[in-house]
Amino acid sequence: MSPVLFTTEFEVRYGANFAVRGVTLTVARGEITTIIGANGAGKTSLLAGLAGFERRRGLIQFDGRDISRASPEDNARAGLILVPETRDLFASMSVRDNLLLGAALGRPRLRDDTAQQLECVLTRFPPLAARQQQHAGTLSGGERQMLALGRALMGRPKLLMLDEPSLGLAPNLVQQMFKWIAALKAEGTSILLVEQNARMALTVAEHAYVMEHGQLSTRERAGRLAAQGDIAARYLGRRTRRAATVELK
């Protein structure tokens, strides 16, 4: 089966500085592919570039189509949906409106069962169901993460790109977040997962890459990567460094 996403010779630049260069990446259908790497490695820039933000160059194929020049809006409508590191929720709008907006401009055939999809997302994230009329800006960090993920799910992603979904969460919520991610995969959603929490990411993922200075390693099976001595030392040693930063915002 063809991969859901394939990109080669991909680069992202800020002015004259390369944040991502010479990247070849394959995301197989129905799998979780993860990218691990240190701060400033270029993970966020890579995801934003793939989604259509930032100045980029190179070939991107999504679902068999060339989307190298597609705008973020077109990508979102086609089912390539980003949950950014900054979440970018609509803070002064209600939780319910945030979710509805996630589906408002999605693939036309799916707009009809928005109500059903909303029901489904609210069942998945009970805290959101209790806060439907509350403004998104008043949510706790964990709830915000749920809302960002829920809003993305409303658009029925063919590929979900998650940028550090466990960032700033309390340890028990980190566990819960990875359970949700695994559940989504089990339901057939393809996922590209960027994480600093390499241990957890490598546990749920099938395939993995390591990112360093804007460049990707070769594709590996996640289990084999986790077993490699130097990877374990470099990325798995500093255990839950980020996860311990409770409720950042």
Distance of CA 1 to the CA centre of its chain: 22
Check binding of 19 to ligand ATP (CB under 6 A).
yes
> β-pairing, 80-83 with 65-66?
unpaired
Check binding of 165 to another protein (CB under 8 A).
no
What does the block give as tokens for 135?
């403004």
Q: Which residue in 6, 18, 90, 180 binds another protein (CB under 8 A)?
A: 90
Q: Which residue in 84, 141, 236, 240 binds another protein (CB under 8 A)?
A: 84
Which amino acid type is present at position 91? A
For another protein (CB under 8 A), the number of binding residues is 29
Check binding of 41 to ligand ATP (CB under 6 A).
yes
* Closer of 13 and 219 to ligand ATP (Cβ): 13
| Window contacting ligand ATP (CB under 6 A); options: 23-31, 33-41, 92-100, 119-127 | 33-41
- How would you label 138-175 residue by residue, b for 16+ Cβ within 10 Å and e otherwise? ebebbbbbbbbbbbbbbbbbbbbbbbbbbbbbbeebbe
Q: Is 56 exposed, middle or buried (0-12, 13-18, 19+ CB in 10 A)?
A: buried
Check binding of 44 to Mg ion (CB under 5 A).
yes
| 8 Å CB contact between 182 and 204 | yes
* Closer of 5 and 48 to ligand ATP (Cβ): 48
Q: Which residue in 44, 145, 189, 190 binds ligand ATP (CB under 6 A)?
A: 44
* Closer of 143 and 164 to ligand ATP (Cβ): 164
Check binding of 115 to another protein (CB under 8 A).
no
Whole-number Å distance between alpha carbons of 221 and 215: 18
- How would you label 101-124 residue by residue, b for 16+ Cβ within 10 Å and e otherwise? ebbeebeeeeeeebeebbeebbeb
Contacts with Mg ion by CB under 5 A lie at: 43-44, 85
Contacts with another protein by CB under 8 A lie at: 51, 53, 69, 71-74, 76-77, 81-82, 84, 86-93, 97, 100-102, 104-106, 151, 155
Contacts with ligand ATP by CB under 6 A lie at: 14, 19, 37, 39-45, 85, 196
